[in-house]
Structure 1
Amino acid sequence: MDGHPLEDLLAIARALGWGAAKILRAYYRGEPFQDGTARNLDIQNEKDGPVTAADLAVNSFVLGRLHDLLGDEQFGYLSEETYKSQASAAPFPQDWVWILDPLDGTRDFIDKTGEYAFHLALAYRGRPVLSVVTCPELERQYFATLGGGAFVETPDGKVERLQVSACDRPADLVVVVSRTHRDGRLNALLQKLPCQNQLSVGSVGGKIAALVDRRADLYISLSGKSAPKDWDMAAPELILTEAGGKFTHFSGEPLRYNTGDVNQWGGLMASNGCCHEALCAEAIRILAEIDGLS
C-alpha cells in the first residue's frame, strides 16, 4: 500500500484500541471529566438498538485520529455511528476501507455485564486484512493481520500468539451464545445441533475472544428481522481465522464487506474449524426441517 506499510497501520490500530478502551472504561465507571463535570451515558434508543455517549465519544476519537493520520483519498471509513449520514448506500469507492464498531455490545455496556468490546478492521476489496478487538474489562486486546497470525496483548505489553482448540467431537464442542439476541428460530436450531454445551457471552467480539481463548469452540449467527452488520463481524472474523478457526456462511461462502448493504444476512458459523463443514451442512438440514414445519 502506497506509503502505509501494514505493520505501521497495525501499530496505529493497536494504539487506537487501547485509547478506545480507556474512554469506554471511564464511561462504564461513570468517572467525571477532568473539569469535574459528570460523564453521563445519555442513552438514546434508536431503531437498531441503544446508542450512548460512550459510542459517540469513541467514534469521534478513532475517526478523527484516522482521518488526521491517513486522510480519505486512499481510505474509506465505515462506522456504525456515521454510516446513516452517507449520501447513499453505495460501497465506498476506495479499495481500502476501515470498519469501526466503537462499542460492540452496547446493551451489555448499559447493563454492566462487562462483556463489551471495541472493533476496528481494515478491509481490502471487501475482505479484512488487519483487525483489532479490545475487551476493556478483560484487559485484553486481540489483533491480527492476514497471513501474519493472531495475537493477544495485555496492558503490561505481554503478547501471546493465539490458537483455537483442537476439539473435534461435535458433542464436546462448547457453543457461545447471546443472552438477548436470540429468536425462536435460532433457539430451535441450537436445540437440534449435536453440541449442547453452551456459554453465554455478550458482544460478537467477546464471543470470538472466547473461541480464540479456548473457552468455546462454536458461534452461530442467524438473521431474522434484522441481521448483524459489517462492523460486528469484520474484526472478529480475521482474528479467528488467523488463530486457525473458520468463519463463513452456512454455504461455505466467505463474508464480504463494503458491498453497499451493511447487513450480514443468513446463517453464519464461526468455529475452531474441526467440524465446520459438517456442522454447516447439519445447520442447513435442520433449518429446512424447521422452516418446513412453520
Structure 2
Amino acid sequence: MSSTDYAFALDGAQRAAAAAAEILLHYWRQGVAVEWKSDATPVTVADREAELAIRDILRAALPEAGIYGEEFGRDGDTQEWLWLVDPLDGTKSFVRRTPFFSTQIALMHRGELVLGVSNAPVYGETMWASRGGGAWFEGHQVQVAATAELAQASVSLGNIKSLTADARWNALGGLVAEVNRIRGYGDFCHYHLLARGGLDLVIESDVNILDVAALAVIVREAGGVFTDLEGSGLTLDTRSVLAGVPAVHEVALARLR
C-alpha cells in the first residue's frame, strides 16, 4: 500500500470513528439499557449501532478488506486486508458513567497491523497512526519518552486478573517494587499516555486483540515496543500486552520471563 493508499484508508477509519462517536455520545447523554453476553460482559444498543455505522464507512473506504468486529464477528474471507473494530471498548465504563471508553479501529495487512485510530469522545482525545507515518495526537506528532532505567519508569497496570494465578505474579511484584510510579489508568488511556510520553510501561494479561490493535500501531509508530507478555508480536489470538519505551520494555520482558 502506498502512502496515498494509507492516507485514503486512514481517512476512512477516522470518518468511521467520528460517526461512532456521535452515536456513543447520543446514548451517553440519554442513558441506555444494558444486556449481558454469554461471557458475562455487557453490551448495549450503542455498541451495535456504532459498529454498523463503522462497517458502512469502512466497506466504502476499502471494499476489498474484510471486517472483524466485536459485535457482529468477521465478514469476508480475504487474507490480504482485514479491519479490526471495537466500536465501544470499555462498555463497563460506559454503562457506569465513566468516560474511559473509546472506539478502536485498526487495519491488518497479511497479518501485520499497519494502521490504527483510537477515539475517546467524552475524554476528548483522538490518536492515529499508519506504518511509517508516525503517531499523531490532535494534529501533532508524538513520541514515547526517553526513559532509560526501570527506577525512573512510570508503569500502568490494566486487566491483570489472570496474572494473579500465574508464575509471573511474583516477578510483577518485583517490578512494582523497583519502578518510580505505579498507576492503573486502563483501557485506551494508558496507551495514549505511553505514546505521548506520559508513561513508560503498560502491562495487561486479559485483553482481546480488538481492544489493542489500533493502540499497538500508535505506540509502535511513536517509537515504543508493543508485544504480548511473552515478547511475541500481536496476532488475532493475542490475549496479553507488554508495551513500553524500548529500554524499559526490554528489562520488564526479561524479568517477566
Q: Tell me whether the two structures share a fold, i.e. TM-score over 0.5.
A: yes
How many angstroms apart in 1 are the aligned matches of 2:77 and 2:144?
A: 33
How many angstroms apart in 1 are the aligned matches of 2:19 and 2:66?
A: 21
| Structure 2 residue 183 is the aligned partner of structure 1 residue 199 | yes
Q: Which amino acid aligns with 1:268?
A: V
Q: Which amino acid aligns with 1:244?
A: G
**Which of residues 217, 225, 240 in structure 1 aligns to 2:219?**
240
Task: Trace 1:31-50 onto structure 2 (pairs within 5 A).
Answer: 40-48=31-39, 49-50=41-42
| Structure 2 residue 136 is the aligned partner of structure 1 residue 151 | yes
Counterpart in the other structure of 1:110: 95
How many angstroms apart in 2 are the aligned matches of 1:118 and 1:104?
A: 6
Counterpart in the other structure of 1:51: 43
Contact 1:123 1:130 (8 Å CA) reproduced? yes
State which drifts further: 192-201 or 19-28.
192-201
Return the offset for 1:206.
Answer: 2.0
Question: Residues 1-56 of structure 1, C-alpha deviation per residue, up to 9 Å, x if partnerless?
Answer: 49x811111111112222222221221121xxxxxxxxx52211113311111111
Unaligned runs of 5+ in 2: none
Q: Which amino acid aligns with 1:190?
A: L
- From the superposition, tell whether residues 47 and 189 of structure 1 become closer, same or farther in structure 2 (CA, over 3 Å): farther
Q: Say what the alpha-carbon RMSD is for the aligned residues.
A: 2.2
How many angstroms apart in 1 are the aligned matches of 2:8 and 2:20?
A: 18
Counterpart in the other structure of 1:27: 27
How many angstroms apart in 2 are the aligned matches of 1:253 and 1:70?
A: 29
Contact 1:250 1:281 (8 Å CA) reproduced? no
Give the number of equivalent residue pairs: 250
Counterpart in the other structure of 1:228: 207
Contact 2:88 2:104 (8 Å CA) reproduced? yes
- From the superposition, tell whether residues 93 and 16 of structure 1 become closer, same or farther in structure 2 (CA, over 3 Å): closer
How many angstroms apart in 2 are the aligned matches of 1:163 and 1:70?
A: 29
- From the superposition, tell whether residues 189 and 81 of structure 1 become closer, same or farther in structure 2 (CA, over 3 Å): farther
Contact 2:16 2:58 (8 Å CA) reproduced? no
Counterpart in the other structure of 2:108: 123
**Which of residues 56, 67, 80 in structure 1 aligns to 2:70?**
80
- From the superposition, tell whether residues 235 and 125 of structure 1 become closer, same or farther in structure 2 (CA, over 3 Å): same
SS of residue paired to 2:117: strand
Return the offset for 1:253.
Answer: 2.2
Return the offset for 1:146.
Answer: 0.3
- The structure with the larger Rg is 1
Counterpart in the other structure of 2:9: 9
Return the offset for 1:201.
Answer: 1.7
Q: Which amino acid aligns with 1:167?
A: T
Q: Which amino acid aligns with 1:5?
A: D
Unaligned runs of 5+ in 1: 31-39, 154-158, 258-262, 285-294
Same amino acid, percent of matched pairs: 29
Contact 1:173 1:216 (8 Å CA) reproduced? yes
Counterpart in the other structure of 2:153: 173
Question: Residues 66-97 of structure 1, C-alpha deviation per residue, up to 9 Å, x if partnerless?
Answer: 224433xx2110001112x77xxxx9433100
TM-score (norm 2): 0.89
| Structure 2 residue 55 is the aligned partner of structure 1 residue 70 | no
How many angstroms apart in 1 are the aligned matches of 2:195 and 2:77?
A: 31
